[in-house]
Amino acid sequence: MSTKANGTNSLAPLDRIDEAILDVLRHDGRITYEKLSSLVHLTPRPCLERVRKLERRGVIRGYGAIIDVQMVSPGLSLLVLVALSNQSGRAAQKAFEACVTACPQVFECQLISGPFDYSLRMRCKDMEHYRVLTETWLNNSELHIDKLVAHPELSVVKSTTSYMNCLS
């Protein structure tokens, strides 16, 4: 049984072939099974079975394109730290999480520890758009937001789609 909530996974660890498959797929998710199997030194059928097993286990959660958001939708990227009031309780957390889940401007939300409760990655047209959006959040008494601190992104220094290499 997997315990994703705390970041641990009690399933059998990945072997070197599974890790090789993941390494190839994180760079080229559109590769053919024939090419993938040759790169990881398997025949196509066992390679396909391993990929499907990784998908069923939830190790591979999906496939997608890496899009340059600035080219598609010029605007402002922000890291926003959110603190809920100390007395807010679980109902406020659920309300806040539902709010940001439904908000198209929020593309990442993490529950974090420390003086803030959440870290958001957002994309807005400009600072006025951000101000209007977050003002509606602050005026929503169900959310119990105590503090919002925005950090506009100046430039991307490093971006990756995989955390696999940082664990070794």
E-strand stretches of 1-117: 2-3, 8-9, 76-84, 106-111
Domain membership of residue 160 (yes or no) is no
Answer yes or no: are the C-beta atoms of 33 and 24 closer than 8 Å: no
The boundaries of the domain holding residue 61 are 14-66
pLDDT tens-digit readout, 79-104: 999 999 977 789 999 999 999 999 99
Q: How far is CA 5 from CA 8, 122, 143, 162, in A?
A: 8, 23, 22, 19
Please write the tens of the pLDDT for every residue from 23-40.
Answer: 999 889 999 999 999 999
Domain check: are 75 and 116 in the same one?
yes
One domain, residues 94 and 148 = yes
22 with 55, same domain: the answer is yes
Q: What is the CATH number of the domain that holds 26?
A: 1.10.10.10
- Say if pTM beats, i.e. exceeds, 0.85: no
In a domain, 161, yes or no: no
Q: Is residue 7 part of a domain?
A: no
- Total domains in the fold of the chain: 2
Pick the last residue of a domain from 66, 85, 102.
Answer: 66
